[in-house]
Amino acid sequence: MTTPPFTFVPGSGPLLISAPHAGTNVPPELAARMTAHGRAIADTDWNIDRLYQFARAIDASLLVATHSRYVIDLNRPPDGKALYPGQRNTGLCPVETFDGAPLWQEGAEPSPAEIAERRTAIWQPYHGQIAQTLAAAKARHGHALLWDAHSIRGTVPQLFAGRLPDFNIGTNDGATCPARIANNLARLASEAGYTAIVNGRFKGGYITRHYGDPAANIYSVQLELVQETYMQDAAPWTFDEAKAASVSAVIERLVRHYAAAFAATR
């Protein structure tokens, strides 16, 4: 795989914004083994990194995956353990779409050796960059902040009933960020005219849970944003400049509040 596993724009502030599902690259040798559903990469967090281009203005670091989550899911634990026991989950190297359609042609699913290879080539470098960036931020500022940026269709019957709120804020039930801060984030989104929830269907994936460690002054939040707020949530996944500008301004307000909440305590 010749495509680098991520792009990274460093900042000198305490905040790292991570977009682990923004990637669309599928190497040709893998695409040849996929079904039409797999090649469509429908479950991508389409254009999510475009909403966070304010990162430079607030001196945050921005880390964006390049490979599709269908190649390897950077927001899953390395052993593939389920994040939501008892609910439908997708694995480290998924074999089906969110809607349950097969990603791989019969007999062409990734082997254990292949999964290990992808983990070494893509998953480990991405997580190494997260760890390195957070450690540097903590050394410089005394604390480090992680914001894991995601988006999803508002209606996915196989994963949840009904329609999601627009802003789904996850802190693993308060384990990765104080509840008062997460609740304020939801309040700000609601005041801007969006629906919002804290620790609803999405409580934060592996990245949020693994790196958030308030006892060590490292905090994390996941935002799962409904795609209708900024784009067409079906093929051809058209980006809506006007909607995107509005929701990006609100996200920036949330991110600034998140960063300021910790700066005020130092």
Residues 250, 188: contact at Cβ < 8 Å? Answer: yes
Q: Where are the alpha helices (DSSP H) in 142-240?
A: 179-191, 206-211
**Rounded Cα distance, 222 and 128, in Å:** 19
Question: How would residue 134 be classed by pLDDT, with cut points 50, 70 and 90?
Answer: very high
Q: What is the pLDDT of residue 263?
A: 80
Residue 18 above 70 pLDDT?
yes
* pLDDT tens track for 116-133: 999 999 999 999 999 999
Q: Determine what percent of the chain is predicted with pLDDT higher than 70.
A: 96
Among the ranges given (12-16, 156-160, 261-265), the one the predictor scored with the smallest mean pLDDT: 261-265
Give the architecture-level CATH label for domain 6-263: 3-Layer(aba) Sandwich (3.40)
Question: What are 188's two structure tokens?
Answer: 């700000």
Q: What is the pLDDT of residue 265?
A: 54
**Would you give the distance in Å from CA 189 to the centre of its chain?**
18
Question: What are 190's two structure tokens?
Answer: 């609601």
Give 207's contacts (C-beta < 8 A, 6+ positions apart): 18, 20, 74, 75, 130, 146, 148, 220, 222
**Rounded Cα distance, 180 and 1, in Å:** 43
Question: How would residue 80 be classed by pLDDT, with cut points 50, 70 and 90?
Answer: confident
pTM: 0.95
13 closest CA partner among 200, 111, 204, 145: 145
- Vertex 238: Cα angle to 232 and 240 (nearest 5): 80
* pLDDT tens track for 202-229: 999 999 999 999 999 999 999 999 999 9
